[in-house]
């Protein structure tokens, strides 16, 4: 066997503790190795130590962290590298793709400037023209057009920003890529394209890939080997086929069971099989829509900069939402699927009137929201609430869980402090955060990702809305927690008689949860129908492309 490209031996990592107390091991005696060109997946629930391994490999842990064991790259100790060697090592030898692209991108720099700076930092002799040529070719690989070279990160969707972060990692042709949830915010088509590109590069350039993910189907499709982590330890490791077909550890079996639970829909779509029980899909009441969108448009203009104005460059118009007609009926779950940048999130913000539409109507319970005053819109939001993709970003870190959930009650003058606390404790019980009095006093930083999302759901439900808009609410959660949160949402839907607009790029989730699906592409709804019909007999070429790109455990 050839010499290993990369080795971790008996690695232990403990983060510094606030009170100076002895901290437990975040990574506890983990060993693994990668051969050149090999692709390995690392899976496990949030907080199990996956990302800590990625940061240890790159020497990005806090200086006061306790570290034991060895990390070697091409038989050289990573922990012994000098600052100059480390700068060269990062990017040229190993590149790290972060889960959150905004931690990688400078908001004051254009995308082009990011690329040029990265290339010239490692190759000062490279001319700006040559650097731009190489950068544009790399951006094209991840579907970023040259026309967006001079734009800033805030002008990109979350998925588009992630594509930029992946392009930056590929720029220097590293020998190993450590990808930490690299496609969490990407739709299935772009995710498939990028992972195919990464795996192709692995083969052509003999480049290793350590893919850290909670998406078991994706790991099964793109990785040769898999390591399963639980509570800081590596509990199972082997070839992907062996681990998925014959899991040895109880935790691996529970992960697979949770993932298959979400995928367990038969081809007719009429019944969902959950834990060997049959659950009939609800009958949609189509008497009158709760929400009706008519010719809704949201256009943005990109003004040319000074040099572009001198060259008489025309103003660009981006049609984020382009003539949407859509009805949402009481007590149904409508899934909105499509690639990143297609306008899904813009549409949700336009419905809420967080941004005013260019034209068209948004009618909610018979009232046109586009004609309301600012105060009237604020009042209407009591009946329409939103659950965002990243619960950590939407919860104030300085407020306790109790304060965060109670806040909407005070905004809408629905309760005094005593009544508010009673309602919050009751809601915490409903979303499964028990004992509620304990969670009431905690801060978001004390909670796991799944618990934070339960808090976000409780906050959205506290005003007893009729419509809940969920924008990728479980995409950042691992399979077992995803399953719990989705089951919770179905349970709460029945109890509170809710209607959901569920925005997702994960077709398995849409199939599991939704009564109907609207497929969105380039600002337009290209296909709309019952979930079972969309999956059994897709009509639009784009829908067929989406379905073909979705990784399934059954295919693994």
- Say yes or no to pLDDT of 272 above 60: no
The total domain count for the chain is: 2
In three-state secondary structure terms, 15 is coil
CATH number where 510 lies: 3.40.50.300
Residue 305: pLDDT band (50, 70, 90) is: low
Q: Which stretch, 46-50, 98-102, 500-504, 542-546, has highest mean pLDDT?
A: 500-504
- 460 and 512 inside one domain: yes
- 299 and 436 inside one domain: yes
The mean pLDDT of 225-245, rounded to a whole number, is: 92
Cβ atoms of residues 538 and 356 within 8 Å: no
- Say yes or no to pLDDT of 138 above 70: yes
Element (H, E) at 242: helix 240-245
State pLDDT tens for residues 207-217: 899 998 877 88
State pLDDT tens for residues 422-450: 999 999 999 988 899 989 998 988 887 77
Domain stops at, among 199, 219, 248: 248
Element (H, E) at 499: strand 499-504
- 441 and 339 inside one domain: yes
- Does residue 212 sit within a domain? yes
Least confident interval from 10-19, 167-176, 342-351? 10-19
- 182 and 302 inside one domain: no
Q: Are strands 27-34 and 6-14 parallel, antiparallel or unpaired?
A: antiparallel
CA distance 86 to 97: 17
CA distance 135 to 123: 13
CA distance 255 to 263: 13
- 450 and 335 inside one domain: yes
- Does residue 284 sit within a domain? no
The mean pLDDT of 286-295, rounded to a whole number, is: 86
State pLDDT tens for residues 247-256: 999 988 888 8
Q: Name residues whose C-beta falls within 8 Å of residue 297's C-beta, 6 or more positions apart in sequence.
A: 319, 321, 322, 323, 324, 357, 358, 359, 360
- 29 and 141 inside one domain: yes
- Does residue 262 sit within a domain? no
- Say yes or no to pLDDT of 339 above 80: no
- Say yes or no to pLDDT of 126 above 90: no
Q: How much is the pLDDT for 61?
A: 85
Q: How much is the pLDDT for 105?
A: 86
Q: How much is the pLDDT for 464?
A: 92
- 232 and 296 inside one domain: no
Q: How much is the pLDDT for 29?
A: 92
Cβ atoms of residues 325 and 293 within 8 Å: yes
- Say yes or no to pLDDT of 18 above 60: no
- Give the residue with greater pLDDT, 399 vs 274: 399
- Say yes or no to pLDDT of 269 above 50: no
Q: How much is the pLDDT for 22?
A: 58
Least confident interval from 22-26, 92-96, 233-237? 22-26
- Say yes or no to pLDDT of 390 above 90: no
Q: How much is the pLDDT for 270?
A: 38
- 187 and 330 inside one domain: no
Mean pLDDT, all residues of the chain:
84
CA distance to 325, 466, 533, per residue, from 268 (Å): 27, 30, 8
Tell me which residue range forms the domain holding 72. Answer: 6-248
- 339 and 218 inside one domain: no
- Does residue 265 sit within a domain? no
- 347 and 237 inside one domain: no
- Does residue 444 sit within a domain? yes
- Does residue 152 sit within a domain? yes
How many helical (H) and strand (E) elements, i.e. helices and strands, does the chain have?
21, 22
In three-state secondary structure terms, 483 is helix
Q: How much is the pLDDT for 363?
A: 94
Which residues are paired to 289 by β-bridges?
A: 329
- Give the residue with greater pLDDT, 441 vs 309: 441
- 193 and 298 inside one domain: no
- Does residue 404 sit within a domain? yes
Cβ atoms of residues 102 and 153 within 8 Å: yes
Residue 12: pLDDT band (50, 70, 90) is: very high
Residue 97: pLDDT band (50, 70, 90) is: confident
The mean pLDDT of 306-335, rounded to a whole number, is: 82
Q: Name residues whose C-beta falls within 8 Å of residue 515's C-beta, 6 or more positions apart in sequence.
A: 281, 282, 284, 332, 333, 334, 530, 531
Domain stops at, among 219, 248, 277: 248
Residue 279: pLDDT band (50, 70, 90) is: very low
- Say yes or no to pLDDT of 552 above 70: no
- Does residue 440 sit within a domain? yes
- 228 and 349 inside one domain: no
Q: How much is the pLDDT for 276?
A: 37
- Say yes or no to pLDDT of 146 above 60: yes
Domain stops at, among 189, 218, 248: 248
């Amino acid at each position: 066997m050839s010499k290993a490209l990369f080795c971790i031996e008996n690695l232990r990592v403990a983060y510094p503790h606030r009170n100076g107390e002895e901290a437990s091991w975040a990574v506890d005696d983990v060993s693994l190795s990668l051969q050149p060109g090999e692709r390995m997946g690392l899976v496990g629930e949030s907080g199990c130590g996956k990302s800590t391994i990625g940061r240890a490999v790159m020497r990005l842990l806090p200086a006061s962290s306790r570290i034991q064991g060895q990390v070697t790259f091409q038989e050289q100790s990573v922990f012994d590298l000098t600052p100059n060697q480390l700068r060269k090592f990062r990017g040229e030898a190993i590149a790290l793709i972060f889960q959150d692209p905004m931690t990688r991108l400078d908001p004051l720099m254009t995308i082009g400037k990011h690329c040029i700076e990265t290339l010239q930092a490692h190759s000062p002799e490279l001319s700006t023209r040559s650097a731009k040529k190489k950068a544009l070719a790399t951006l094209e690989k991840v579907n970023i057009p040259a026309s967006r070279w001079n734009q800033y990160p805030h002008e990109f969707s979350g998925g588009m920003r992630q594509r930029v972060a992946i392009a930056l990692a590929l720029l220097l042709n590293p020998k190993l890529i450590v990808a930490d949830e690299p496609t969490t915010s990407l739709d299935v088509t772009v995710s498939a394209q990028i992972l195919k590109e990464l795996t192709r590069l692995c083969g052509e350039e003999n480049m290793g890939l350590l893919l850290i993910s909670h998406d078991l189907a994706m790991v099964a499709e793109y990785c040769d080997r898999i390591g399963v982590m639980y509570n800081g330890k590596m509990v199972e490791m082997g070839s992907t086929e062996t681990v998925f077909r014959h899991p040895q550890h109880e935790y691996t079996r529970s992960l697979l069971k949770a993932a298959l639970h979400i995928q367990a829909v038969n081809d007719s779509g009429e019944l969902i099989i959950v834990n060997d029980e049959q659950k009939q899909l609800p009958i949609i009441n189509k008497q009158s829509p709760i929400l009706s969108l008519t010719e809704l448009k949201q256009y943005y203009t990109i003004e040319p900069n000074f040099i572009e104005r001198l060259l008489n460059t025309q103003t660009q118009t981006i049609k984020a939402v382009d003539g949407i007609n859509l009805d949402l009926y009481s007590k149904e779950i409508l899934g909105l699927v499509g690639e990143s940048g297609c306008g899904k999130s813009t549409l949700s913000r336009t419905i809420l009137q967080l941004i005013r539409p260019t034209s068209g109507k948004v009618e909610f319970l018979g009232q046109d929201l586009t004609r309301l005053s600012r105060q009237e819109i604020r009042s209407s939001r009591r009946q329409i609430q939103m659950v965002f993709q990243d619960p950590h970003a939407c919860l104030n870190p300085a407020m306790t869980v109790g304060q965060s959930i109670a806040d909407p009650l005070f905004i809408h003058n629905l309760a005094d402090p005593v009544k508010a606390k009673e309602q919050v404790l009751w809601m915490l019980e409903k979303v499964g955060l028990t004992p509620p009095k304990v969670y009431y006093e905690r801060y978001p930083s004390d909670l796991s990702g799944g618990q934070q999302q339960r808090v976000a759901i409780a906050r959205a439900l506290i005003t007893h809305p009729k419509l809940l808009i969920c924008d990728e609410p479980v995409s950042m959660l691992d399979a077992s927690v995803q399953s719990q949160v989705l089951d919770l949402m179905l349970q709460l839907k029945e109890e509170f008689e809710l209607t959901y607009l569920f925005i997702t790029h994960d077709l398995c989730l849409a199939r599991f949860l939704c009564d109907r699906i609207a497929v969105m592409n380039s600002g337009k709804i290209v296909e709309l129908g019952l979930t079972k019909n969309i999956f059994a007999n897709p009509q639009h070429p784009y829908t067929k492309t989406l379905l073909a790109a979705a990784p399934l455990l059954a295919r693994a």
